[in-house]
Amino acid sequence: MKTLVTAGVGAIALMLCASAASAETSCGMNTGEAATGAPIKVGGIHGNAAPGDFSASTTAAAAYFDCVNANGGIHGRPIEYLVENDQWNPELAAQAASKLLDDENVVAIVGNGSFVEMAVNANTYRDKGIMAMASACAVSECFESSNIVSTNQGPLPSTIGAAQYMVEDKGAKNISCIGLAIPNVGPWSCGAMEWYMTSNDLVGSTVLLNPASPDVNSGLLEAVASGADTILVNLPAGLAIAFLKAAEEQGFGDAYQWASSTPLYDKTVPEALGEYWDGKIYVNAELTPWDKGGPDATNWLAVMDAYAPDGAARDTFSQSGFVSAKFFVDALLAMDPGQLDSREAVTSAITQIKGATSDLLCGPYYVGEADRHMPNHAGTMVLVKDGGFETVRDCYEYDSPYFEPIFEQEKALGIR
């Protein structure tokens, strides 16, 4: 466990060189003056170790907070952003939450991305009365608990969205989902894909890889043996690329239809996959494509260019981290400045978010008081094409029995 980013403190130095960039960015109060008051402590936790790096969300949130701090902060006070790496280790994840909540007394958690920490800390967040505005959720507890709400969809909606597109637009009848053998990740998300298929009188199956020692060749052969006409890769980007390379070696690229959940929507992926996969694999993007334009999409890239480290990812999780940080800052700016150090008051302000919009999202964002939160369940499909991505289906809402309680919740809030 290691503290990677302290935006509030680190921002002080960045503020000195950010004035030129501030003309191209739009952050918080947009004063162009550095915040100098007492910092407001905010936490974030990500996982960065095998089998994947989910730090893009906290990196983007840190960049936005740095930009906010260079532009007046929260009524003159900077955000001090304290980020921990759980390294996919449950013990470290619990220690990270204890450090942030008990030792640092943060008022909120923002930008989280992990396979582990939400499962470990969901009850802690509830018991401590703190809200986690996550951005790269991948486990069921992230979407089925009272004090976590994410701007990203997670593997379940993204997998259903990819399957729905392949059924409706490509005529898929039998889809095999490739996931990780982590109960609240692979079986949860691929199982929901199977539910979607059977609810439409179609066939779905699941192949699970051991995350500690994934055998992509055996997984590939098991998927082929299922009789599937479409193989849906639901893995972290690095492992997904390894799986597709195994399929390439077997010459399966044209023998099946190929799709993926959102981890493959990364600017570096088309080059990593190579020419063989050009025009062959469809990817669900949980947020809108980065080349779609719009105020927030443009601002996200400008903020990343100005405040993020060189080489920082521009992917779905980066977009999600930016949007979570922006909605959080908007909530703080609407609060009584005298209440900004109260965790209870900040939690209440976050809970009251309703109908927030961004051109990076296909639908409205909300929180509310509920035992589950999944505000983002509409996305976009893209095709790996010509070294990049081509949008093949713009924003569409997913249709599955799993979402019925979510839709009822939205009706109660007056959103649907």
End-to-end alpha carbon distance in the chain: 42
| Mean pLDDT value across residues 2-6 | 35
For the stretch 59-101, pLDDT in tens is: 999 999 999 999 999 999 999 999 999 998 999 999 999 999 9
pLDDT category at 356 given cuts 50, 70, 90 is very high
Reported pTM: 0.86
CB 361 within 8 A of CB 316: no
pLDDT category at 18 given cuts 50, 70, 90 is very low
Which has more pLDDT, 19 or 322? Answer: 322
Which has more pLDDT, 287 or 292? Answer: 287
**Is pLDDT at 255 greater than 70 in this prediction?**
yes
